[in-house]
Amino acid sequence: MKNLFLTWIMAVVLCFYSAVCHAEYGRVPKSEFDPETIKIDEEKYLGSPVEKNYVFINEKGREFTLGDMLDKPLILVLSYYACDGVCSAVNASLMNALSGIGLKPGRDYRALTVSFDRNDGLESLAMFKKHLQIPERLGAAWELAVAKNYKDMESLTRGLGYNFFWSTRDRIFFHPNALVFLSPGGRVVRYLYTAGMSNKDVELSILDASRDQAGKSNITDLGSAFLIACYSYNFKEGKYSLNYPLFIGAGSLLSGVALLGISMVVMARQGRNQKKNKKQMANDK
């Protein structure tokens, strides 16, 4: 009986130990990824020029340069086509935002998605594009491509301060989920992170990118000019917010003008009353 009891205890212990070992070996390792390693130093790279001679290839095999896309403000999306979720989500977020604004693709802006993965080719590009399903309205102004020479890709990402690395443990690329807005002159105007991004953020980033070196926008409709004047980019929040100092200044100016107008009306009325009283007194005499 005693031996049977000891056997039972040992069996329980072994089962417990086996369960613990199984849990340890079956556990998915936690990533040691530090987000700071891929953070873009916006203060350093905003305003930087980009090389226009980088050569890309679209899904039809046509070659074009970055400069060919810069006759308009350009939204640059750095992705990799084997990505199983985040890259698709970033491109889809841009697609939805562009579908919800009044600016016209091809006339007011262009978009370019390009892979930073040296293993991507036209086949993976085509699969990614098929999955994304870009509407025809946007597709005419939106290219998906791979670099003809991977050294171009390395140079481009380095010039943008866009850091990425392959995690063997997680089997994914870690990279910023950011859109890069380039001016027609080929300068970095805005980094816009897609987390919490609104349609208005995208529209205002395009409008900012449309400005030439003199600070004037090439987009001349009054609605766009009003948006540019009323909003400013908040670096702390990573999005656009109302330009409150402008509204306060405008409110103060309008208040001053209103008070001046009221004062002039009152003074004019008092002047008329005085003339009327003098005339009345003269008639009484």
Report the pLDDT value the prediction gives residue 272, as an integer from 0 to 100. 72
Written as tens digits, the pLDDT of the chain (285 aa) is 445 444 444 443 344 333 333 333 334 445 565 667 788 999 999 999 999 999 999 999 999 999 999 999 999 999 999 987 899 999 999 999 999 999 999 999 999 999 999 999 999 999 999 999 999 999 999 999 999 999 999 999 999 999 999 988 888 999 999 999 999 999 999 999 988 899 999 999 999 999 864 444 555 554 555 556 576 677 666 667 766 454 444 445 455 555 566 766 667 676 676 676 676 666 665
Which pLDDT score is estimated for 250? Answer: 40
**CA 212: distance to chain centroid?**
20
Residues 145/112, Cβ–Cβ less than 8 Å: yes
Tell which residue, 150, 90, 89, has the closest CA to residue 115.
150
Tell me if 214 sits within 8 A of 190, measured CB to CB: no
d(CA 190, CA 46): 7
- Contact of 108 with 138, CB cutoff 8 Å: no
Burial of 145 (0-12, 13-18, 19+ CB in 10 A): buried
The answer to whether the beta carbons of residues 117 and 78 sit under 8 Å apart is: no
Residue 16 class from Cβ within 10 Å (0-12 exposed, 13-18 middle, 19+ buried)? exposed
> In the prediction, which pLDDT does 27 show?
40
Q: Give the residue ranges of DSSP H helices in the chain.
A: 2-26, 42-45, 86-99, 122-132, 136-139, 150-160, 199-209, 222-230, 244-284
**pLDDT tens, 204-248?**
999 999 986 444 455 555 455 555 657 667 766 666 776 645 444
Q: What is the C-alpha to C-alpha distance for residues 118 and 130, in angstroms, rounded to an integer?
A: 20
pLDDT of amino acid 4: 46
pTM over 0.75: no
Beta strands 178-182; 231-234: pairing state: unpaired
Q: 35-231 has which CATH code? A: 3.40.30.10
DSSP, residue by residue, 183-241: -TTSBEEEEEESTT--HHHHHHHHHHHTB-TTS-BS---HHHHHHHHHEEEETTTTEEE
Domain boundaries, the chain: 35-231, 243-279
